[in-house]
Structure 1
Amino acid sequence: MTDFGAIDALLAGAKKEVPLPSAEERRTLREELNLSRAQLAQALGVSPSTVGGWESGRDPSGEVREKYAYFLEGARGKLAAEAAEETSAEDSASSESDSQGDAPADARQAEDSGDDDVAVLAAPQPCVLCGEPARHQVAGFPQHLDPAECGSAEAAEPEPQPQSEQGVRVVPVGRRLQAADTPDLIGTAVASALAEHSGDLESATKALVKRAIPDAMALLDHSRMGGRYDVVAHPWMPDVLRKQSSRGADQIWEARPKWSRSELPAGKHEITALDVNGAYLSALKTHLPLGQLEHSTGNHHDRRRAGIHLITPPDWEHDAYLPNPIGSRDEPGPLWVTESTLRLLLRISGPKYGLCDPPEIHESWTSGATEGLLEKFRIALKDARDRAIADKDDVTLEYVKAMYSKFVSTMGESNYNRELYRPDWMHLIRSQAFANLWWKAHRAYDEGLMVVRAMGTDELHVVGDWRAVFAEGRGVTEVKVKDVYTVGTG
């Protein structure tokens, strides 16, 4: 009887494990709610890597399994409810549009943005940059379309700052995005360096350039205050992103252009070498992965994610008048490219441009992404740069340039920046700068200019009335003349 009693007790306490959805659905449910692994791990009392294991196919057990199942079921229900609300809102908007013949203002704003990834949210959700309610979704993440709306409060007009004897004016940066009590980190650093070096501009500039990396990291940390997502500074990286030797390179192809037109029409041609301003600064606005990269295979691209991709690039048949978007590459076959390069290839292979076939994607390392992760950081640097140019403040100008250029160049495997190890970001930002130059070359060609050369991130040589195509100046959306030369005879 004792044996049977033990069996009865065992059966009484036994119960079936709570069923769980597939590993892929687990990850999808979390990402659809814009939750990081760290957030979910904290709620469940486990580590982020444990959550990652569950999303890769391992199953939890015991009490934590029940908690995880409860979260997944709740996430599924929440998403279903939001989808129903969105459908209802769309039906209502459609009905209103039919009766009034006019689209809602939010929809018009999303359409005017020109971004295929912009959508109007059925209900405001916290912005991934500032945490305040946003009415739009960009690339799958709630964001403000207007930078002026992004922030805890509108900036109050700052009091005039004193000028140094050398005429370097200290002006708060990022006015559109800063609260009234936000310190001016760049202006304070410049004023301090000038005071420390008794107004010696050259010495102050050298000192500021020397401290550009830690100051850039401090500005990044400050610009991310209140952001919904933390910057994952030291995630695990796949082998393709690791240097093969101490002085070698990793396996990522950045698509750096080094192209010259092979043949010019007969006659004499005046060629203008244009310099694109702030190439790396503009490239900070790119799709960056938020967390640790995850592996996938197959010829599929998820626009909500970003990372690196092993692709077979398409053939390029326009080299006679336009640079190859994949850059100057001699070896055929598959290669690892960044999100920036892949999106460029996918866009120009689409029906709007039809310049090539789509690339074939073999495998990818990606994470959920947003295009605006560094946007406040970028705008703070851009505003400081713009004011330095307007004030002829060369000290601040050189300091800001060193901040963004060194920030990009040292976020990989570098001894100069131990605070951030993101070689994936470094490659993505560089590739975005190259992609931006390619688009300028395409615009020049499309507007009737003859494109002669495209080099690096910022050098574009053209023949024709380029001022009718590009604005001239020193702003980041403008170009300036680097050289004018003549080739041919006539």
Structure 2
Amino acid sequence: MGDFDAIDSLLAAVGPEAGLPARGVRRELREQARLSKAQVARALGVSPSTVAGWEDTRDPSGEIRTRYAYLLDGLAAKFAVEVQEKPEPEAVQEPEPVQEPAAADDASPAYDASTAGAGEGDDVESLAVPEPCVLCGQPAGSRVAGFAQHLDPADCHTVTAPGPGPAPASEAAEPVARQEGPPRGPRPSGRSQGPAGRAFQEPSGPADLIGQAVRAALAEHEGDMEAATAALLKRAIPDAMRLLDETRKGARYDIVAHPWIPDILKKQTSRGADQIWEARPKWTRHELPPGRHEVTALDINGAYLSALKTHLPLGQLEHSAGLAHDRRRAGVHLITPPAWEHEAVLPNPIGQRDEPGPLWVTEPTLRLLLRLSGPKYGLCAPPEIHESYTSGATENLLEKFRVALKDARDAAITENDEVTLEYVKAMYSKFVSTMGESNYNRELYRPDWMHIIRSQAFANLWMKALKAHDEGLAVVRAMGTDELHVIGDWRRVFAEGRGVTEVKVKDAYTAAIGTGEEE
């Protein structure tokens, strides 16, 4: 960028902000255009919940405000919407259905078939062979915008219960026993305004969203723990997204949920992988010291949960080449990794890779290599960085989300609550696994985050292996995110238990003399 371009950017930044219509008019414009929050969010590079906030309680700023104003101006010109005061509803003797088309997709439009599945302009196709509905998992005969789902909300058997996650379009079937007064008629969309809806809309805190969902599932299935767990696991993805929205309220940064993604982060084939190397450990020590050895296989608790604390890029990734690493940014990097000369006692930090040459790695892998090449460890040379795709980053983007899940997990373990424990595990594991190219999470598309979080879990395991080695234990094996085999008194190095900062015994075996093979 030239000097005058930089000045122009500064002048633009301090100029008057684009004008926006009233918040109610913003929603009216979007609804008249039959656009879902997800469609607007994708066009602007934000999350649907951010769009919901702009239509309810807050305003955007900066460049995103200008783009949002441009969209609204275009819609106003197209539909010539006249802003009028809404008359107060007349009193009626019987309760009438309340129409709230915009509220149903407040947290995840994918879970409201009336707004995300069947609007004009969406790609609707009939399926010769029914596929599982992305909302309820039951066979559906149509695919909408690439996702199998029921076109008629009445056909969608999504679980209806208060808790984290948007109420499905079929909430009209809410049991009458939970309502006060005469039953309401069926509604095509929108969140229930009965006791269940109020409890969900005004939670006492993020952690209580988890408790509400568990209590509701147990009540729905009359205390059947197995059935309640199955129902909770089915809704783990939308519930995790709702919890994320709750923990992001008042946050300093907006999440760009659907940014432009470079080709290296896109799958090369429909069943193939992209070009990002996650540095997954898959290492077994070639030779043990002489003698017989008792080996303990340790299980690292909550590996992906702990990995949510990592440096994540906030916005769209930007390309750079020939630059040194900037710790204020995060993303993916093309590097030539350094030679590793400690294979006999410690795994290679980039995992088992046979082919030489440059490869694309994530932020945690690069930071691990830079750390190991520094004066504190001096275990390798610095990696050579060729080019990068990065954005401004923070390590605490998901911290409140992580803490809410951790607290719920800890409480479930203390109370021996296996239903909540399995539910929480599903929430964070599915959250990570579906934020890439997945049909099951349409609210968040960040394959870069998925790779970064996974790589952070692998880096965390590697650092535990290094800690064990430095404390005099013999590291025998390191696998995936949570498996570390050691010889020696590991309890003086690691705390034992089920907490996320603790480890537990997975297996114990005797290794044969000098070969590293098990007896």
1:39 aligns with 2:61: yes
Matched residues, percent identical?
A: 75
Matched position secondary structure for 1:184: helix
1:361 aligns with 2:385: yes
Give the aligned partner of residue 338 of structure 1: 362
Q: Distance in 2 between matches of 1:237 and 1:489?
A: 51
Matched position secondary structure for 2:61: helix
Q: Which amino acid aligns with 1:41?
A: E
1:326 aligns with 2:350: yes
Offset of 1:41 from its aligned partner? 1.2
1:392-434 Cα deviation digits (max 9, x unpaired):
0000000000000000000000001111100000000000000
1:21 aligns with 2:6: yes
Provide the TM-score with structure 2 as the length reference: 0.62
Give the aligned partner of residue 390 of structure 1: 414
Q: How does 1:302-451 map to 2 (within 5 A)?
A: 302-451=326-475
Contact residue 255 and residue 434 of structure 1 kept, 8 A = yes
Matched position secondary structure for 1:21: helix
Q: Which amino acid aligns with 2:61?
A: Q
Could you tell me which runs of 5 or more consecutive residues in structure 1 were left unpaired when the two chains were aligned: 1-17, 31-35, 50-177
Q: Distance in 2 between matches of 1:313 and 1:22?
A: 39
Offset of 1:190 from its aligned partner? 0.2
Q: Distance in 2 between matches of 1:216 and 1:347?
A: 33
Q: Distance in 2 between matches of 1:407 and 1:336?
A: 23
Given candidates 249, 258, 263, the residue that maps to 2:282 is: 258
1:56-112 Cα deviation digits (max 9, x unpaired):
xxxxxxxxxxxxxxxxxxxxxxxxxxxxxxxxxxxxxxxxxxxxxxxxxxxxxxxxx
Give the aligned partner of residue 302 of structure 2: 278
Offset of 1:475 from its aligned partner? 0.2
Q: How does 1:74-153 map to 2 (within 5 A)?
A: none
1:133-175 Cα deviation digits (max 9, x unpaired):
xxxxxxxxxxxxxxxxxxxxxxxxxxxxxxxxxxxxxxxxxxx
Offset of 1:21 from its aligned partner? 2.7
Could you tell me which runs of 5 or more consecutive residues in structure 2 were left unpaired when the two chains were aligned: 15-44, 47-59, 71-201, 515-519
Contact residue 340 and residue 435 of structure 1 kept, 8 A = yes
Offset of 1:224 from its aligned partner? 0.4
- After superposition, the Cα gap between the structure-2 partners of 1:22 and 1:268, relative to the gap in structure 1 and judged at 3 Å, is farther
Give the aligned partner of residue 243 of structure 2: 219
Provide the TM-score with structure 1 as the length reference: 0.66
Offset of 1:19 from its aligned partner? 3.8
Give the aligned partner of residue 498 of structure 2: 474
Give the aligned partner of residue 92 of structure 1: none
Moved over 3 A (4+): 36-39, 45-49, 178-183
Matched position secondary structure for 1:384: helix
Matched position secondary structure for 1:461: strand
Aligned-pair RMSD on alpha carbons?
2.6
Contact residue 266 and residue 488 of structure 1 kept, 8 A = no
Q: Which amino acid aligns with 1:21?
A: A
Offset of 1:231 from its aligned partner? 1.3
Q: Which amino acid aligns with 1:333?
A: G
Contact residue 299 and residue 360 of structure 1 kept, 8 A = no
- After superposition, the Cα gap between the structure-2 partners of 1:22 and 1:337, relative to the gap in structure 1 and judged at 3 Å, is farther
Contact residue 325 and residue 438 of structure 1 kept, 8 A = yes
Q: Distance in 1 between matches of 2:267 and 2:386?
A: 22
The more displaced of 278-287 and 218-227 is: 218-227
- After superposition, the Cα gap between the structure-2 partners of 1:317 and 1:26, relative to the gap in structure 1 and judged at 3 Å, is farther
Q: Which amino acid aligns with 1:196?
A: E
Offset of 1:265 from its aligned partner? 1.4
- After superposition, the Cα gap between the structure-2 partners of 1:182 and 1:332, relative to the gap in structure 1 and judged at 3 Å, is closer
- After superposition, the Cα gap between the structure-2 partners of 1:415 and 1:46, relative to the gap in structure 1 and judged at 3 Å, is closer
Give the aligned partner of residue 191 of structure 1: 215
Contact residue 290 and residue 367 of structure 1 kept, 8 A = yes
Matched position secondary structure for 2:379: coil
Q: Distance in 1 between matches of 2:483 and 2:206?
A: 37
